[in-house]
Amino acid sequence: MTKKLDSVDVIIVGLGAGGGPAAKVLSEAGYSVVGFDKGPWLRNSEHYSGDELKFQNRSYLWPDVDLMPRTVRTDENSESRIFNFSPVPSAVGGGTIHMAGWTPRPRPCDFIMHSLHGDIEGASLVDWPYRYEHLEPYLTKVEWSYGVSGLDGAEVGAGFRSKRYPSGPLGPTKFGEKFYEGCRNLGINAHPLPMSHLTERNELGRKAVNRTSFWNQYGDPTETRSSVATTYIPDALATGNFEVRADSFVKEVTVDRNGKATGVIYIAPDGSEHEQKAQVVILALGAIESSRLMLMSKSPRFPDGISNDSGLVGRNATFHEYLFAVGLFDREVSPALNGFTGNYQSGGSMHFYETDYDRGHIGGGIIATTQIGQPINPILPGKPIWGDAAKDADRDYFLHSMKIGMILQDLPQESNRVDLDPIVKDRWGMPVARITNKPHKNDTAMSKWQINKNVEILEAAGAVRTMPVYLGEEFTGNSCHQHGTVRMGTDSTKSVLNEWAQSHSVPNLFVLDGSGFSTALGVNPTLTIMAHSWRAAEYIANTHLKGRSERLALDPVSLSN
Amino acid sequence: MSKSEWKKLELRIDPDTKEKLFFSDHEWDTIEAAAARVIPTDRDPGAREARVIVFIDRYLSGINYLYATADGSGFLRLEGEEARAARARNNDFKRMYREGVLALDALAVQRGEKDFASADEATQDLVFVEISGAPKPSHVRLDEHAVFYSRLQGNTDTGKSFFETLCLHVRQGFYSDPVYGGNKDQMAWKVIGFPGPKSLKDTMDGSYTTEPYFAETWDWSELLLDYDPSAICIYPTCTCPSKTTKEGNQCQISKRS
């Protein structure tokens, strides 16, 4: 028996990078907001510490592989298998709990990939329905409230900024110094990447980032990695207008006869079912779970899932892929590089981000030198798994190796998609997300080219042996980034959301995570997701919930120099 | 009960314990011997000295030693669906190890030994080669070259063969925080030169830091190419997608051609 509750102004489903800013903006604007998360509300100073086994191997933060599985397959004709694809912490704070915290900005070119490159065979390139200049004020707001550090003036070719960074960056690790040396030798513009932490003398009056180096994929007990759980959620709670319902699984978005969203049905911690009504429903579960929830929300008006008139919900999924090259140094001659240190990244570059047709592919991605890891899981491709060779690999290379990674910008393809698995169910009895996904030839070409370039940088830094890891036959979801499944666009037959991330067919439904990304970007999505959500939330607060609607007028793209 | 409310079990693992919570005496001896071939003893301690057998025994005994509390003063008591799922996986591992011991013994017997644990190291290695279906791994050499491709591989311990699982658990037991029963006195961390925290609590309260292992001093102007602290484009009228321009003029700050 579903229990019905009093209506609120806004429901937000998912309290990660997309949900956090929306909760803050709407609560601060005076609206009543209820935020749902299927995960628990963990407490940084109580639940997180430098326990490699717990966080890296026993996946304390991630969805339980048996309770909340996913399935993957390469195309419509292949068998799907259960796999934990693109795992994001299941807890209030979402991806912002475990992320390494790279928060680089997108570039102006990211928003006009179709205007720049035209139709690419096999891909579904489109322009975004807004531009860098529309997002820029929000990128700045996020940097100055969430807390992002960077080095002003270091990135050649960056888009314009209305404000500098509120904090300078961390100093380099020893392997970071090597990376910079390699880049200098090759004429590459490299610099510390913008990161979601602050250092001493930051302008926000906050604590400087911890240097335990238990960082990527760990929760942070010191709360010095910026996370929505320690910034925007508390901001929202402070207004008195916001309520968190954790451990609550939303199974359906409900609609009335006319196709207007009326609220959600959710399963409370005790297993009972409830219906919460609202004027506006915001989905921010992440691109996989948001599209899954929409597909599960069937009704007579929307037999294929809420807002799915175009048939595109779940399609055009992009996942990035984290690829890398490892460099081995001779411990007889090289000083220790201390690959276990750092707040994951210690130097990166956008030098190869913008298209150069001579490379043989369009687009590009950010690169960075990143930690080798802690003792249980240091990265060494082809590592021996037993015997003296295994022990020697650790003794020889744990301190004398480094890696340079890349975020692969994958092209959207309509056949890459999220849908509902016909057989496998989760702990609540609901069909799990099935990810159908295989690389485009541009993805494969970009991977080859960029990883070979990373190899060159390692050699220029003095690596004696290099070990490239190229994109294989399938994506692995190892970056945990996910976007594109509920794409934005101006044409409602070719997209699901408009320029405000508002559903074309359900005006009071908004999807404020990476689902709306019309193309993948070649940078980590979190900063863009937060800015995108903030901007849309302001539209909801100041325009939509005031009974008005506005269209964004887009000037034609000007490509002159 | 929410994961956020899981209580603490007042449990501690003594690496020198003689108490077996899961393994029979024979299974304990067998897996201890097997672990010593995964990470052998040489000039440095190996899995035997680091008490990896205790780590594995406690892990297989149930779900009480799955997650230490954040400060390492005890272990978390799982509840609800998470406990059910963890127990089911644990039961699979119990069976896998019991059958694995029988398999190691059978292969040793085929070689004329009484069992795996009493065979010499060379014979034990031959059993490993047979059960793994691959030659004994050779050293990672600086003068070789190979390329690799990304593939679907999870970081959990499920979905693998007994031998792969054993190797993974031995590695985990060797290198994990000593609170889990292995890595006695941090001896494994000393083998590879990892300056780990004295306790998990130290990673929470600021007393543990790796800052001395970063670069000591730095100057961004020396480290970076094309770094100009004043070169930030602040012109929102910029319409060029690929290069920043300044009111129609060629931008002064774009230094790439």
Question: What's the predicted TM-score (pTM) here?
Answer: 0.96
Q: How far is B24 from chain A (nearest CA, A)?
A: 24
Q: pLDDT digit string (tens) for B101-141? A: 999 999 999 999 999 999 999 999 999 999 999 999 999 99
Using the Cβ of A374 and the Cβ atoms of chain B, whether some distance falls under 8 Å is answered with yes
Q: How far is A148 from chain B (nearest CA, A)?
A: 17
Residue B243 pLDDT class (50, 70, 90 cuts): very low
The answer for residues whose C-beta is within 8 angstroms of residue A438's C-beta and 6 or more apart is A74, A75, A415, A416, A473, A474, A475
Residue pair B117/B33 in contact by the 8 Å Cβ criterion: yes
CB pair distance less than 8 Å for A385 and B196: no
Helix (H) or strand (E) holding A280: strand A273-283
d(CA A349, CA B224): 11
More confident residue, B254 or A449: A449
> pLDDT at residue B244 above 70?
no
Closest Cα in chain B to A478: B152
Q: How far is A291 from chain B (nearest CA, A)?
A: 23
CB pair distance less than 8 Å for A152 and B232: yes
d(CA A1, CA B240): 58
Q: At what angle do helices B80-110 and B162-175 cross, to 10 degrees?
A: 110
Of B172, B197, B211, the CB nearest to A53: B172
d(CA A99, CA A16): 11
Q: Strands across the sheet with B148-149, in order?
A: A345-349, A367-370, A401-407, A322-328, A465-470, B148-149
**pLDDT of res. B249:** 39
Residue pair B240/A558 in contact by the 8 Å Cβ criterion: yes
Q: pLDDT digit string (tens) for B30-53? A: 999 999 999 999 999 999 999 999
Maximal CA-CA distance, chain A: 75
Structure tokens at B228: 């100009």
CB pair distance less than 8 Å for B157 and A57: yes
Interface mutation vs chain B, best among A44, A49, A521, most B CBs within 10 Å: A49
> pLDDT at residue B245 above 90?
no
CB pair distance less than 8 Å for B218 and A171: yes
> pLDDT at residue B182 above 70?
yes
d(CA A46, CA A92): 15
Of B70, B215, B243, the CB nearest to A49: B70
> pLDDT at residue B237 above 90?
no
Using the Cβ of A208 and the Cβ atoms of chain B, whether some distance falls under 8 Å is answered with no
DSSP string, A112-174: GHHHHH---TT------SS-HHHHHHHHHHHIIIII-B--TT-STTPPP-SS--SSPPPPPBH
Kindly give the parts of chain A with pLDDT less than 50. 561
Question: Across the strands, what pairs with A254?
Answer: A263
Q: Is A377 helix (H, G, I), strand (E, B) or coil?
A: coil
Of A153, A183, A374, the CB nearest to B231: A153
Q: Which residues of B touch A184 (CB under 8 A)?
A: 223-225
* Residue A509 C-alpha from the chain's centroid: 21
Q: pLDDT digit string (tens) for A343-400? A: 999 999 999 999 999 999 999 999 999 999 999 999 999 999 999 999 999 999 999 9
Q: Which residues of B touch A56 (CB under 8 A)?
A: 155
